[in-house]
């Protein structure tokens, strides 16, 4: 096989975009450009057989000290992983190329399903099984980081993927009843969901900050998201969804709800009294109390319009990924998060995409898990629960790898303390 150390952009992109099993935006030419914003240097390499590409890799090079670096191939190199010969030859080429560039190791995390799971995380008998691939990668020199359950590695090992090939009504029926009820209500609060531009990144970042504060997360500075969206949008690979609500209109809606409940309560009170009526009055009183509490919160909002939810999606080949998103801490009862996701699903279906990947969840669906709420929300959208084979390192310099993996983290922790 012939090794190509700098694949032509058009040839590279055509191969990755059209690959039947490994087409992923994190192996696209554009993703290399985005990754520069995080200090990576992209390399676009490939293998040819009979003058045709059979494997490619976007390698992200991260400089360390002196001449040394490490390589990261996000979501694994692009080839037919069922073909052991292709995997072996690409691995040999990576070793040679990595040593030439003084890489300590090469990390990969292929988005290849390990096994089939039901929605509750139980293994489906006679489903997918790629344990053999894990064993084979270890056999040819890769170190496996194990089967982590949360977000310990560079990218999530679990996600939900929604099949868009059924008609939209069938997709709606596959959602959880709670989600379906919210979707079926339509848009009672007159939320405005629209595709934003670069000018709306500040609105997007506000929701990211709100979410980070609420969930105790750390997020990159706004400049990263500006670069992320700008580059991918110029490649026609990204959309920015924003949901806003007009506060004055919202107050009118809540005041109308208040008046309607009061009228219904008055009708019951002026009629015959019995246990059933008393129960209805109690329910109405509870509804009224909640509306009054919500109305009081709304009246304290100074903005004319409030951004409730936002999401940057990435679209590539036949998939859409919901990559970066946040929700405002105010007015969460309006369910803007459900509204934005359903708009993304409908748009993806309408535009001919075959799948939406909700980009990460936990492998520990325990209600005590701190990120269980995120998991439950995505699970209720009706997608397939996916588990990938995990992260692997191809070690090229054992002493420096040991230092990087074992000693350096301890030194950094000591320095912080």
Listed residues 234, 264, 299: the one ending a domain: 299
Closest CA to 361 of 162, 196, 199, 105: 162
pLDDT of 416 strictly over 80: no
How would residue 408 be classed by pLDDT, with cut points 50, 70 and 90?
A: confident
- What are φ and ψ of residue 191, in 5° steps? -70, 145
Same domain assignment for residues 242 and 253: no
Tell me the residue range of the domain where 285 lies: 248-299
Q: Mean of the pLDDT values across residues 387-396?
A: 98
- What are φ and ψ of residue 230, in 5° steps? -60, -50
User: What percent of the chain lies above the pLDDT cut of 90?
Assistant: 91
pLDDT of 367 strictly over 90: yes
Same domain assignment for residues 352 and 284: no
Tell me how far apart the alpha carbons of residues 35 and 317 are, in angstroms, rounded to a whole number. 20
Predicted pLDDT of residue 417 = 65
Same domain assignment for residues 183 and 264: no
Same domain assignment for residues 67 and 89: yes
Please, how many CA atoms are within 13 Å of residue 177, restricted to the half-sphere of its CB? 0
Same domain assignment for residues 228 and 262: no
Q: Does residue 127 belong to any structural domain of this protein?
A: no
pLDDT of 233 strictly over 90: yes
Residue 412, both tokens: 């950094």
Closest CA to 171 of 318, 333, 341: 341
Same domain assignment for residues 58 and 188: no
Q: Does residue 130 belong to any structural domain of this protein?
A: no
CA torsion 117-122-124-130 (nearest 10°) is 60
Alpha carbon separation from 146 to 39, 121, 152 (Å, rounded): 27, 18, 11
Q: Does residue 136 belong to any structural domain of this protein?
A: no
Predicted pLDDT of residue 372 = 93
Same domain assignment for residues 341 and 269: no
Same domain assignment for residues 241 and 258: no
Total domain count, the chain: 3
Q: Does residue 332 belong to any structural domain of this protein?
A: yes
Q: Does residue 275 belong to any structural domain of this protein?
A: yes
- What are φ and ψ of residue 287, in 5° steps? -65, -40
Q: Does residue 397 belong to any structural domain of this protein?
A: yes
Same domain assignment for residues 219 and 329: yes
Q: What CATH code is carried by the domain that includes residue 338?
A: 3.40.630.30
Count the Cβ atoms, other than its own, within 10 Å of residue 75: 20
Predicted pLDDT of residue 415 = 66
pLDDT of 298 strictly over 70: yes
Sign of CA pseudo-dihedral 25, 29, 34, 37: positive
Same domain assignment for residues 242 and 315: yes
Q: What does pLDDT average to over the chain? A: 95
Bridging pattern class, strands 305-316 and 238-246: antiparallel
pTM of the model: 0.93
Predicted pLDDT of residue 286 = 95
Listed residues 299, 315, 330: the one ending a domain: 299
Q: Does residue 280 belong to any structural domain of this protein?
A: yes
Same domain assignment for residues 294 and 405: no
Residue 182, both tokens: 């919210």
Helix (H) or strand (E) run with residue 206 in it = helix 201-215
Same domain assignment for residues 275 and 332: no
Q: Does residue 124 belong to any structural domain of this protein?
A: no
Tell me how far apart the alpha carbons of residues 397 and 142 are, in angstroms, rounded to a whole number. 13
Listed residues 299, 321, 339: the one ending a domain: 299
Helix (H) or strand (E) run with residue 230 in it = helix 222-234
| Helices assigned H by DSSP within 29-83 | 29-35
């Amino acid at each position: 096989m012939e090794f190509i150390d700098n694949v032509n952009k058009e040839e590279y992109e055509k191969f990755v975009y059209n690959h039947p099993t490994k087409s992923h935006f994190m192996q696209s030419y554009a993703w290399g450009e985005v990754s520069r914003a995080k200090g990576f240097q992209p390399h676009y390499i490939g293998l040819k057989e009979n003058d045709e590409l059979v494997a490619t890799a976007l390698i992200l090079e991260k400089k360390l000290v002196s001449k040394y670096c490490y390589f990261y191939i996000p979501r694994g190199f692009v080839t037919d992983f069922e073909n052991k010969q292709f995997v072996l030859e690409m691995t040999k080429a990576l070793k040679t190329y990595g040593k030439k560039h003084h890489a300590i190791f090469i990390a990969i995390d292929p988005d290849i399903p390990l096994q089939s799971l039901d929605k509750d995380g139980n293994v489906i008998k006679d489903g997918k099984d790629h344990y053999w691939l894990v064993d084979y990668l270890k056999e040819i020199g890769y170190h496996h980081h194990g089967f982590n359950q949360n977000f310990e590695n560079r990218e999530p090992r679990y996600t939900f993927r929604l099949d868009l090939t059924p008609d939209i009504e069938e997709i709606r029926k596959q959602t959880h009843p709670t989600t379906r009820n919210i979707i079926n209500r339509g848009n009672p609060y007159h939320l405005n969901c629209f595709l934003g531009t670069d000018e709306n990144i500040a609105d997007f970042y506000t929701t990211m900050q709100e979410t980070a504060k609420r969930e105790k997360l750390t997020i990159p500075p706004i400049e990263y998201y500006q670069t992320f969206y700008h580059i991918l949008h110029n490649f026609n690979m990204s959309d920015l969804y924003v949901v806003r609500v007009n506060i004055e209109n919202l107050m009118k809606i809540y005041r109308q709800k208040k008046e309607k409940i009061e009228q219904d309560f008055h009708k019951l009170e002026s009629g015959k009294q019995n246990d059933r009526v008393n129960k209805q009055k109690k329910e109405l009183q509870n509804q009224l109390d909640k509306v009054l509490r919500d109305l009081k919160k709304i009246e304290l909002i100074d903005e004319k319009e409030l951004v409730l939810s936002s999401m940057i999606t990435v679209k590539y080949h036949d998939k859409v990924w919901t990559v970066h998103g946040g929700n405002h801490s105010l007015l969460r009862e309006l369910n803007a998060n459900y509204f934005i996701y359903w708009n993304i699903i409908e748009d993806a279906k309408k535009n001919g995409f075959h799948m939406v990947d909700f980009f990460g969840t936990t492998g520990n669906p325990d209600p005590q898990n701190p990120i269980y709420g995120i998991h439950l929300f995505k699970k209720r959208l009706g997608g397939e629960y996916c588990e990938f084979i995990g992260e692997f390192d191809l070690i090229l310099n054992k002493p420096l790898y040991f230092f990087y993996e074992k000693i350096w983290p301890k030194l950094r922790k000591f320095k912080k303390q």
